[in-house]
């Protein structure tokens, strides 16, 4: 099933002619996926800009990987459980976490970590590959409980080196669970190229060792991603077991806003991948299929901008979190010791406020004398 | 002599050690071409080449487990773990093998290695990038745990660590990687492992700290001294395990009072061990129970409220006043 890299690369450069219009995806769904990619990119760029302006914390951009984010999210059903990484703000919001929550999260705000009750998204994994055994376990639970639910774990190429990746694959194969492991192979783990992660030709082929199917897709083609994930989800839901999907993609930006990719990547390489940009690519297809025009493009950009701007406004208008929030949710019931420490913090803050007031008053008196 | 930041001093020590000892190799994530995410290994890949400054696959158990094999077979690995919060995949290797191979082999094998780990918080980083879990390692016999608080000590302690026949966990305080510069001698010098430093003499109370907290504590101490007319002795523990009981006890016997300040959470933090040992050995000289000032007993919160998790100047002041007025 795995396709050699060269074939994938050639496919990425081919414009889909009108007759290639997918018969399995509705026009509305195609247009919607385009809109979502545009929105995710706007979100991403604005987060990077906010970080640069000191209005947000470190942010790991996903620009370039929108076809993966959107293709995955659209192939999942609402009941399916998503186990994302830090790089997956796009998929996370499309599976139901409000955009402004994500912004609050990246701004270091505890309330940004709140996932709505009816949304099946796990907190973004920060320690690499740790989410994959979780996805396996959630899929296992669905199987044991007999519910129609699939779990999908997102991960990067670097993550395929961690023990947790191999453990998750092995468990998933042994217990034949309804899981999908989706690797966004963006060629680098921070500065380390794929050749330092594996001596295998592909990541997809690793599935073979664990006894299930591995597939490789063009991760810059949202249609290909959507189809591959949809097929894997359907197979899993029907008792066909897990699938590993490797999507070939690229992050155009830095690893995070603290990284300098010019240390380890050439401009030529980045340019090559830019030519496969999933957004202009789908746009050209939509135009060829008579589904898109300039007017729609302008409206789409305006709409995305408005959505992202209102999320930023909401994030910035959100009152500063009360610091005693750090004592919440450690245990179901707060312990007496934690209550005491909470009181200690509040008392300290009260004294700080008093001292500031007194200082302010003193300064005003000083000013009055002159 | 040149004026270096702490992270530059680390880099300088690595270069010095690698020039002197050909058995030393560096391994870790992004330490080669990229020079490390904090640039601690900047330029070393260029100077020593890809066989001595090695980017590994992304797997901490591999980095530390392989270092065991490298060390028992003639090399002197200096593995880097990118952040303390990511050492846990290697925890089994650290605890079950690195710490006890000497004992398990009854002295036949030892694993001289220096595991470099940036630690501590309050750098506005994302989740799990701000850990101070030195207790896990200090709790483990067989490991030497070191935490410098200045560029001079960072270089001297790191060079001493490279000479140690035992594995050393070398904790680098990220928050002060670039906070200030200090004169750091060129060439080889060491600061002995297992020796605390009395960084400021005083008569009325002993305050013990390390890493990032040391300087913050010193600031508070000078204010408390001015306000209260007392004199405070400050000890930089420097080696967290096995720690320098003699220096600490000698000071507490003199002052009769002690406060431990650390960025790790209080529960079973190193402060608990230090307080217990002081109580056991200096009870007759103690004028007050030993106080601990530490992070609140909750996981490091997201960064918007992180600063209030760690000891604040007010809480350090309160800790000192508590033992002074007991
Ligand atoms: C266990 C662990 N080790 C190290 C890190 C530091 N780190 C953060 S992202 C990253 C690279 C991850 O690369 P990859 O899995 O390919 O995902 P990408 O960032 O490219 O999306 C590293 C080493 C971490 N977060 N967790």
C-alpha span between A348 and B293 (Å, rounded): 14
Examine the pLDDT at A3 and tell me if it is beyond 50. Answer: no
What's the pLDDT score for residue B297? 98
Shortest alpha-carbon distance between residue A110 and chain B (Å): 6
Ligand 1 mean position, distance from CA A159 (Å): 7
Query: Which residues in chain B are closer than 8 Å to A354, comparing Cβ atoms?
Result: none
Q: Say yes or no for a CB contact (<8 Å) between B298 and A161.
A: no
CA of A44 from ligand 1 middle (Å) equals 19
Q: What is the pLDDT of residue A159?
A: 98
Report, as residue numbers or ranges, the catalytic residues of A: 251, 255, 264
Q: Judge contact between A314 and A104, C-beta under 8 A.
A: no
The verdict on whether B309 is a catalytic residue reads no
Instruction: Return the pLDDT at A44.
Output: 98
Q: Most B CBs within 10 Å: which of A107, A122, A163, as the mutation test of the B interface?
A: A163
pLDDT computed for residue B65 by the predictor: 98
Q: How many CA atoms lie within 13 A of A35 on its CB side?
A: 18
Q: What is the mean pLDDT of residues A98-112?
A: 96
**Residues of chain A with C-beta less than 8 angstroms from the C-beta of B41:** none
Express each pLDDT in A44-62 by its tens digit: 999 999 999 999 999 999 9
Q: One of B51, B97, B129, B139 is an active-site residue; which one?
A: B129
The answer regarding whether domain B197-324 maps to CATH 3.90.1150.10 reads no
Residue B318 backbone dihedrals phi, psi, to 5 degrees? -60, -40
Give the atom of ligand 1 at the shortest distance from the alpha carbon of A159.
15
User: Which of A124, A126, A331, A350 is best to mutate for the B interface (most B CBs within 10 A)?
Assistant: A126
Q: Which of B58, B61, B303 sits opposite A192 (nearest CB)?
A: B58
A348–B312: do the CB atoms touch at under 8 Å?
yes
Residue A9 pLDDT more than 50? no
Report, as an integer, the average pLDDT of A356-364.
Answer: 88
pLDDT tier at A363, thresholds 50, 70, 90: confident
The count of other CB atoms within 10 Å of the CB of residue A319 is 6
Beta bridge partners of B55: B28
Chain A CB contacts of B128 under 8 Å are: 126-127
pLDDT(A2) > 50: no
Report CA torsion sign: B229, B233, B236, B241: negative
Query: What is the distance, to the nearest Å, from the Cα of residue B294 to the centroid of all Cα atoms in its chain?
Result: 16
CA of B82 to the centre of ligand 1 (A): 10
Look at the block and give the residue holding tokens 């809109």: A35
User: Contact B57/A351, CB-based, under 8 Å?
Assistant: no
Start and end residues for every CATH 3.40.50.920 domain found in chain B: 197-324
Instruction: Write down the pLDDT at residue A140.
Output: 98
Q: How far is CA A52 from CA A49, A138, A297, A307, B110, in A?
A: 5, 37, 28, 21, 47
B203 part of contact set with chain A, CB < 8 Å:
no
Q: What are phi and psi of B214, to 5 degrees?
A: -60, -50
Distance (Å) from CA B302 to ligand 1 centroid: 19
Q: Which residue of B has its CA nearest to A338?
A: B297
The distance of B313 to chain A (nearest Cα, Å) reads 10
Beta bridge partners of B116: B80, B170
Q: In this predicted model, what pLDDT tens digit does every residue of A109-129 receive, in sequence order?
A: 999 999 999 999 999 999 999
Q: How confident is the model at residue A94 (pLDDT cuts 50, 70, 90)?
A: very high
Query: How confident is the model over A246-272, as a mean pLDDT?
Result: 95
Return d(Cα B141, Cα B168) in angstroms, integer: 12
Domain B2-184 fold: Rossmann fold (3.40.50)
Write down the pLDDT at residue A10: 45
Per-residue pLDDT tens over the stretch A142-172: 999 999 999 999 999 999 999 999 999 999 9
Give pLDDT, residue A361. 87
Residues in B closer than 8 angstroms to A57, CB to CB, are 124-126, 303
Residue A7 has pLDDT above 60, yes or no: no
Confidence of residue A215 (pLDDT cuts 50, 70, 90): very high
Q: Kindly list the distances between the CA atom of residue A98 and the CA atoms of A47, A120, A357, in Å, as whole numbers in the listed order.
A: 15, 13, 38
Confidence category of residue A367, pLDDT binned at 50, 70, 90:
low
Q: Residues with beta carbon inside 6 Å of ligand 1?
A: A 87, 126-128, 156-159, 186, 188-190, 255; B 29, 58, 60, 82, 86, 89
pLDDT at A362: 86
Summarize pLDDT for B241-289 with one digit per residue, the tens. 999 999 999 999 999 999 999 999 999 999 999 999 999 999 999 999 9
How many angstroms separate the CA atoms of A311 and A104, rounded? 9
User: Atom 21 in ligand 1: which residue has the minimum CA distance?
Assistant: A156
Quick one: pLDDT at residue A366?
A: 74
Q: Which residues of chain B carry a pLDDT beneath 50?
A: none
Contacts of A162 in chain B (CB under 8 A): 58-59, 89
Q: Does A264 touch chain B (CB under 8 A)?
A: yes
Closest Cα to atom 6, ligand 1: which residue?
B82
Distance CA B322, CA B326 (A): 6
Quote the pLDDT of residue A5: 37
Locate CATH 3.40.50.970 in chain B: 2-184
Of B34, B89, B297, nearest to A162 by CB-CB distance is B89
C-alpha span between A63 and A277 (Å, rounded): 9
Closest CA to B185 of B36, B323, B1, B321: B1
DSSP string, A218-272: ETT-HHHHHHHHHHHHHHHHTT---EEEEEE----S-SSTT--GGGT--HHHHHH
CA distance A281 to A301: 16
Residues 6 or more apart in contact with residue A143 via CB below 8 angstroms: A175, A176, A177, A178
A158·B58 Cβ contact <8 A = yes
pLDDT tens string A320-329: 889 999 999 9
pTM for the model: 0.95
Chain centre to alpha carbon of residue A192:
20
Mean pLDDT for A293-306 is 98
The model's confidence at residue A17, banded by pLDDT at 50, 70 and 90, is low
pLDDT of A19: 64
Least CB–CB distance from B305: residue in A190, A264, A323? A323
């Amino acid at each position: 099933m795995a396709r050699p890299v060269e074939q994938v690369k050639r496919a990425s450069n081919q414009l889909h002619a009108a007759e290639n219009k997918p018969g399995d995806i509705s026009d509305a769904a195609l247009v919607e996926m385009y809109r979502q990619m545009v929105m995710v990119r706007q979100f991403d760029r604005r987060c990077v800009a906010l970080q640069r302006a000191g209005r947000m914390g470190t942010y790991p951009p996903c620009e370039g990987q929108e076809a993966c984010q959107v293709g995955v999210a659209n192939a999942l059903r609402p009941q399916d459980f998503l186990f994302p990484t830090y790089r997956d703000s796009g998929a996370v919001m499309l599976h139901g976490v409000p955009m402004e929550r994500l912004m609050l999260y990246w701004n270091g705000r505890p309330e940004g970590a709140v996932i709505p009750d009816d949304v099946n998204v796990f907190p973004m994994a920060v320690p690499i590959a740790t989410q994959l055994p979780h996805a396996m376990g959630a899929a296992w639970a669905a199987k044991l409980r007999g519910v129609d639910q699939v779990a999908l774990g997102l991960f990067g190429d670097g993550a395929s080196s961690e023990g947790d990746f191999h453990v998750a694959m092995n468990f998933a194969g042994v217990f034949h669970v309804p899981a999908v492991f989706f690797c966004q192979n963006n060629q680098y783990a921070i500065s380390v190229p794929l050749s330092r992660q594996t001596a295998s030709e592909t990541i997809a082929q690793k599935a073979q060792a664990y006894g299930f199917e591995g597939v490789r897709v063009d991760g810059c083609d949202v249609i290909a991603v959507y189809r591959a994930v949809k097929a894997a989800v359907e197979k899993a839901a029907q008792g066909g077991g897990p699938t590993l999907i490797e999507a070939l993609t690229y992050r155009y930006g830095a690893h995070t806003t603290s990284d300098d990719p010019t240390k380890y990547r050439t401009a030529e390489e980045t340019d090559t991948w830019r030519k496969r940009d999933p957004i202009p690519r789908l746009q050209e297809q939509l135009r060829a299929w008579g589904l898109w025009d300039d007017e729609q493009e302008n409206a789409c950009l305006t709409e995305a901008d408005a959505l992202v701007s209102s999320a930023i406004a909401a994030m910035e208008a959100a009152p500063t979190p009360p610091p005693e929030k750090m004592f919440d949710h450690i245990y179901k019931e707060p312990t007496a010791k934690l209550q005491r420490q909470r009181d200690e913090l509040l008392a300290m803050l009260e004294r700080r406020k008093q001292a500031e007031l007194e200082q302010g008053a003193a300064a005003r008196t000083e000013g009055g004398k002159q | 002599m040149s004026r270096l930041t702490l992270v530059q001093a680390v880099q300088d020590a690595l270069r010095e050690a690698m020039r002197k000892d050909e058995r030393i190799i560096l391994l870790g994530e992004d330490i080669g071409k990229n020079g490390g995410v904090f640039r601690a290994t900047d330029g070393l890949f260029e100077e020593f080449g890809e066989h001595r400054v090695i980017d590994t696959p992304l797997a901490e158990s591999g980095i530390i487990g392989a270092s065991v094999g490298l060390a028992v077979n003639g090399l002197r690995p200096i593995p880097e773990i990118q952040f303390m919060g990511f050492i846990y995949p290697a925890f089994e290797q650290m605890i079950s093998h690195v710490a006890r191979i000497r004992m398990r082999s009854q002295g036949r094998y030892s694993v001289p290695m220096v595991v470099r780990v940036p630690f501590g918080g309050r750098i506005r980083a994302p989740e799990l990038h701000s850990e101070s879990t030195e207790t896990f390692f200090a709790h483990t016999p067989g490991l030497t745990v070191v935490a410098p608080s200045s560029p001079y000590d960072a270089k001297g302690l790191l060079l001493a660590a490279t000479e140690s026949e035992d594995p050393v966990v070398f904790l680098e305080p990220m928050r002060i990687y670039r906070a200030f510069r200090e004169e750091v001698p060129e060439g080889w010098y060491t600061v002995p492992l297992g020796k605390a430093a009395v960084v400021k003499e005083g008569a009325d109370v002993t305050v013990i700290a390390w890493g990032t907290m040391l300087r913050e504590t010193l600031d508070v101490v000078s204010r408390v001294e001015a306000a209260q007319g007392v004199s405070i002795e400050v000890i930089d523990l420097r080696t967290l395990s096995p720690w320098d009981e003699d220096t600490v006890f000698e000071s507490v016997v003199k002052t009769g009072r002690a406060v431990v300040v650390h960025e790790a959470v209080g529960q079973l933090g190193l402060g608990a061990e230090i307080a217990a040992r002081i109580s056991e050995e200096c009870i007759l000289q103690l004028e007050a129970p030993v106080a601990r000032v530490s992070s609140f007993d909750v996981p490091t919160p997201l960064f918007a409220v992180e600063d209030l998790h760690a000891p604040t100047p007010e809480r350090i002041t309160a800790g000192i006043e508590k033992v002074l007025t007991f």
